């Protein structure tokens, strides 16, 4: 049965459709927070479909909004970056009831994001409180002295998700992370097949 689910989810992924297990849909009570990171433009529609299904009240993107465009290395691609990120922001902000946070990654540009977003909050990193849960959010994983419930980050395949005393760390590169804020339960969804290739990260993954 698990093998068949794996095959089924893989087939859906090839066509940019997410597979969300029934037990997740049945157990989520909400409010729901969706954590994503390092998103190449090829998977935007996949993300939008997840949002359409789950209808999260909160979204946190921990940076590199168009990760197929390495803007830090190729400043001349700002126009291309702007065009792609505009699609992502428009899609995310089309859900009027959703509160959205954009954390700046090393391949993001503040001025562009500030012009494109109509109601999102842009952060370099920092502490935020949502539904009585405390979050430290940043593009890079950092050790810190603050006591928080969740540490959300991206950029690299390491460190993986972790539990350290009272803090849950979630890496948005590894998975699309769902937090049920009422129960603080965590669920993980896979990114579609080919995401790491589009991120240009497969070589980096091998060498870690």
3-state DSSP assignment of residue 137: strand
Q: How far apart are CA 32 and CA 25, in angstroms?
A: 11
DSSP string, 60-100: EE-S-TTTTS-TTT-GGGHHHHHHHHHHHHHHHHTSTT-EE
With CA atoms as reference, report the closest residue to 141 among 155, 130, 129. 155
Structure tokens at 60: 């946190």
For the CA atoms of 12, 64, 72, 41, the dihedral, rounded to the nearest 10 degrees, stands at 30
* 173 alpha-carbon distance from chain centroid: 7
Task: Name the strands in the sheet holding 121-123, side by side, starting at the edge strand that comes first in the sequence.
Answer: 121-123, 99-103, 58-61, 32-36, 176-180, 185-189
How would you label 27-65 residue by residue, b for 16+ Cβ within 10 Å and e otherwise?
ebeebbbbbbbbbbbbbbebbbebbeebebbbbbbbbbb
Q: What is the pLDDT along the chain (208 residues), one digit of tens a residue?
A: 544 444 545 545 555 679 999 999 999 999 999 999 999 999 999 999 999 999 999 999 999 999 999 999 999 999 999 999 999 999 999 998 999 999 999 999 999 999 999 999 999 999 999 999 999 999 999 988 888 999 999 999 999 999 988 899 999 999 999 999 999 999 999 999 999 999 987 544 433 3
Residues 6+ apart with CB under 8 A from 132: none
The H or E element that residue 198 is part of is helix 195-198
What pLDDT sits at residue 4? 43
3-state SS assignment for residue 34: strand
What is the predicted pLDDT for the residue at 66?
Answer: 98
Q: Looking at residue 203, what is its pLDDT?
A: 44
Architecture in CATH for domain 22-207: 4-Layer Sandwich (3.60)
Q: What is the pTM of this model?
A: 0.91
- State the Cα–Cα distance between residues 70 and 72, nearest whole angstrom: 6
């Amino acid at each position: 049965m698990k093998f068949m689910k794996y095959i089924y989810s893989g087939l859906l992924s090839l066509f940019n459709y997410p597979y969300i297990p029934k037990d997740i849909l049945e157990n989520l009570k909400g409010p729901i927070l969706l954590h994503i990171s390092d998103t190449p433009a090829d998977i935007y529609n996949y993300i939008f479909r997840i949002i359409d299904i789950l209808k999260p009240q909160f979204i946190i993107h921990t940076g590199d909004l168009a990760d197929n465009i390495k803007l830090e290395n190729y400043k001349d691609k700002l126009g291309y970056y702007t065009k792609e990120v505009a699609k992502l922001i428009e899609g995310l902000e089309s859900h009027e009831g959703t509160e959205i946070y954009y954390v700046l990654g090393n391949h993001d540009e503040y001025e562009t994001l500030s012009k494109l977003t109509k109601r999102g909050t842009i952060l370099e990193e920092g502490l935020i409180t949502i539904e009585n849960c405390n979050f430290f959010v940043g593009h890079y994983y950092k050790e810190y002295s603050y006591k928080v419930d969740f540490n959300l980050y991206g950029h690299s395949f390491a460190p993986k998700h972790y539990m350290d005393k009272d803090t849950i760390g979630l890496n948005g590169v590894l998975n699309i992370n769902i937090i049920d804020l009422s129960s603080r339960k965590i669920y993980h969804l896979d990114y579609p097949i080919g995401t790491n290739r589009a991120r240009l990260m497969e070589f980096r993954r091998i060498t870690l």
